[in-house]
């Protein structure tokens, strides 16, 4: 492990290469120098794997108020109505932006307009999509446009370590605080060259996704380790509502499948959830209607909780998703990617029911931001799943997440443009990363053990159903793991796994602390000790102490 004595300056550093990061890069003025840091290969992000689509008020019979109303209902009383309105009112602009970039949305064969599908929680068809692989089309297209931007430098296999702030610099130099805390750069591990880079910047944007890899079962790629939330917290930013982790109701249950999500649109197009076949129900009972009149189109929290309840009640390893009653050609036309992929596992969805389980899918809380994506630290922005905008409340409604990425990234770009034009901040002297006499880990099995223990702890104690006893046990174990990790962090050379585990442990602690402060059950948070909702909804907001030097 080495450190670089060079400091590279950019006007803007974007950490993350998903929908939010790519949109921000494309929306910034071309005279600004931009670095986009990608943790893995350029297309490896949660965006790429998103199958559903982008919710937007596009159809003539749809209205902004209806979309807002559906979102508020799904959010179980915790949505910030001004954030919902801001997002929905800019939804058409988001679709127009994507069309302008070259995204080839699926068209309606009867009208040549966008084909819109319906998903859980929506009262109308308003999901623009590219067959059943919207995320792949969006990520691929936007990356192509970013590659054409002369002002953007793409840096892959870069793992951000920490945001550099004026507070952390003041502590490093043992100097008094003379100005409001602001972001001035990022320390980054180049995993190819095995060295730490120092990037200075006038503005830093964290668009790193969520924290679902804290759980044993997840639909997310391996990069979803809460990096942006952890870095923002260490920099001095508040976080909110991290107890609301959405479990996607339908992930494939198969020994050879890894993190394979079955799109919400399957249920939107009429797929049923069934229990295993029995004498009374040879096809398997369609059980959702026993719990909610909306059946399979109930919001995700209700569907996931119901599946979890039935699995525990009957001792099942999974339930089934069934679309075999639909015309086979209809199924193949609407879900070509899914159809082909499941054939690889020996499942023909036109004839076979699909075994499914819930899995951690989306982080509804995050770093507190305003409508411009600004955090509590000046010139530091948080976007997409890293952020808490107030849009999702206690449960994200399907396909609002990609929309949020585009709307807030474009808003942040405008704010950065105006801020840079009015008063381009000078970047203070930044020390390069100090390489201690660390040695390579001689017992990497310790990291693996701690990672596995964390994910099992979060799954069993901080999963779909919780209790105070489980939460306290989880907190005690996480704090012990954090101490073990910190001793390791201080003694050995940095690597990607160590940075990720450090971030996962911190954000897992924040999730548990948020959960312990919510004395009710609401939306995605169900606590057996507080099964009812309180009459007055309120956010849970955590505030860090003065950040330590990085």
* Structure token pair of residue 252: 């494939």
DSSP 474-501: HHHHHHHHHHHHHHHHHHB---HHHHHH
Scan for tokens 């986009």, then name that residue.
Answer: 36
Confidence of residue 426 (pLDDT cuts 50, 70, 90): confident
Separation of alpha carbons 357 and 377, rounded Å: 39
Residue linked to tokens 């474009």: 410
Q: What is the pLDDT of residue 548?
A: 47
480: number of Cβ within 10 Å: 12
Please state, rounded to an integer, the average pLDDT across all residues of the chain. Answer: 91
Q: Please determine, for residue 269, whether its predicted confidence score (pLDDT) is greater than 80.
A: yes
The answer to whether residue 300 is catalytic is yes
520 in Cβ contact with 183 (< 8 Å) = no
* Residue 507 and residue 367 in contact, taking contact as beta carbons nearer than 8 Å: no
Top CATH class, 252-360: alpha beta
- Reading the block at residue 147, the tokens are 């590659």
Radius of gyration of the chain (CA): 23
Query: Which candidate in 300, 341, 396, 470 is catalytic?
Result: 300
Q: Is the domain covering 8-243+364-420 a CATH 3.50.50.60 domain?
A: yes
Give the helix, strand, coil percentages of the chain, each rounded to 5. 35, 20, 45
Q: In degrees to the nearest 10, what's the CA dihedral of 453, 454, 459, 463?
A: 150
**How large a percentage of the chain has pLDDT more than 70?**
95
Longest dimension (CA), the chain: 76
What's the pLDDT score for residue 399?
92
pLDDT in tens, 447-466: 888 989 999 999 889 999 99
* 441 — pLDDT class (breaks 50, 70, 90): low
Residue-wise pLDDT for 365-385, tens only, equals: 999 999 999 999 999 999 999
Looking at residue 4, its pLDDT comes to: 63
Q: How do the domains of the chain map onto residue ranges?
A: 8-243+364-420, 252-360, 443-528
CATH architecture of the region 443-528: Up-down Bundle (1.20)
Say yes or no: do domains 252-360 and 443-528 share a fold: no
With cut-offs at 50, 70 and 90, classify the pLDDT of residue 232: very high
**pLDDT at 3 > cutoff 70:** no
């Amino acid at each position: 492990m080495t450190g670089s004595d060079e400091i590279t300056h950019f006007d803007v550093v974007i950490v993350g290469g998903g929908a939010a990061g790519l949109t921000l890069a494309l929306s910034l003025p071309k005279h600004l120098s931009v670095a986009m840091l990608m943790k893995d290969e350029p297309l490896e992000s949660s965006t790429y794997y998103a199958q559903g689509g982008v919710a937007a008020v596009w159809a003539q019979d749809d209205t902004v108020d209806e979309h807002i109303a559906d979102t508020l209902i799904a959010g179980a009383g915790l949505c910030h109505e001004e954030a919902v309105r801001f997002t929905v009112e800019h939804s058409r602009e988001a679709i127009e932006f994507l069309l302008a970039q070259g995204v080839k949305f699926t068209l309606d064969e009867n009208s040549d307009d966008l084909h819109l599908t319906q998903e859980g929680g929506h009262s109308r068809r308003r999901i623009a999509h590219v067959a059943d692989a919207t995320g792949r089309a969006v990520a691929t297209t936007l990356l192509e446009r970013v590659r054409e931007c002369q002002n953007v430098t793409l840096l892959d296999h870069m793992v951000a370590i920490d945001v550099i702030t004026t507070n952390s610099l003041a502590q490093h130099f043992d100097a008094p605080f003379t100005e409001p805390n602001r972001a001035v750069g990022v320390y980054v591990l180049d995993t190819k060259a095995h060295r730490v880079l120092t990037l200075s910047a006038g503005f830093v944007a964290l668009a790193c996704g969520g924290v679902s890899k804290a759980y044993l079962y997840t639909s997310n790629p391996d990069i979803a380790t809460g990096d942006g939330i952890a870095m923002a917290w260490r920099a001095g930013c508040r976080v909110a509502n991290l107890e609301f982790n959405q479990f996607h109701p339908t992930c494939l249950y198969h020994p050879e499948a890894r993190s394979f999500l079955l799109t919400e649109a399957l249920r939107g197009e009429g797929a049923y959830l069934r229990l295993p076949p029995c004498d009374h129900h040879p096809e398997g009972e369609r059980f959702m209607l026993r719990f909610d009149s909306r059946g399979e189109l109930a919001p995700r929290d209700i569907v996931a909780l119901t599946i979890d309840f039935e699995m525990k009640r009957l001792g099942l390893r999974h339930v089934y998703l069934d679309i075999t009653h639909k015309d086979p050609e209809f199924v193949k036309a609407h879900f070509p990617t899914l159809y082909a992929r499941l054939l690889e596992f020996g499942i023909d969805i036109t004839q076979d029911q699909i075994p499914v389980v819930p899995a951690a899918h989306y982080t509804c809380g995050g770093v507190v931001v305003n409508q411009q994506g600004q955090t509590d630290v000046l010139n530091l922005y948080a976007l997409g799943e890293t952020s808490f905008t107030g849009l999702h409340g206690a449960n994200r409604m399907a396909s609002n997440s990609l929309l949020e990425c585009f709307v807030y990234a474009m808003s942040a770009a405008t704010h950065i443009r105006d801020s840079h034009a009015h008063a381009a901040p000078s970047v203070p002297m930044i020390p390069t990363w100090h390489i201690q006499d660390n040695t390579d880990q001689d017992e990497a099995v310790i990291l693996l053990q701690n990672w596995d223990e964390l994910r099992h702890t979060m799954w069993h104690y901080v999963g779909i159903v919780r209790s105070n006893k489980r939460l306290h046990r989880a907190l005690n174990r996480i704090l012990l793991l954090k101490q073990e990790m910190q001793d390791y962090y201080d003694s050995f050379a940095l690597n990607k796994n160590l940075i990720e585990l450090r971030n996962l442990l911190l954000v897992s602690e924040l999730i548990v602390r948020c959960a312990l402060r919510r004395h009710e059950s609401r939306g995605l948070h169900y606590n057996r000790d507080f099964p009812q909702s309180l009459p007055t909804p309120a956010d849970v907001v955590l505030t860090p102490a003065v950040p330590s030097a990085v």
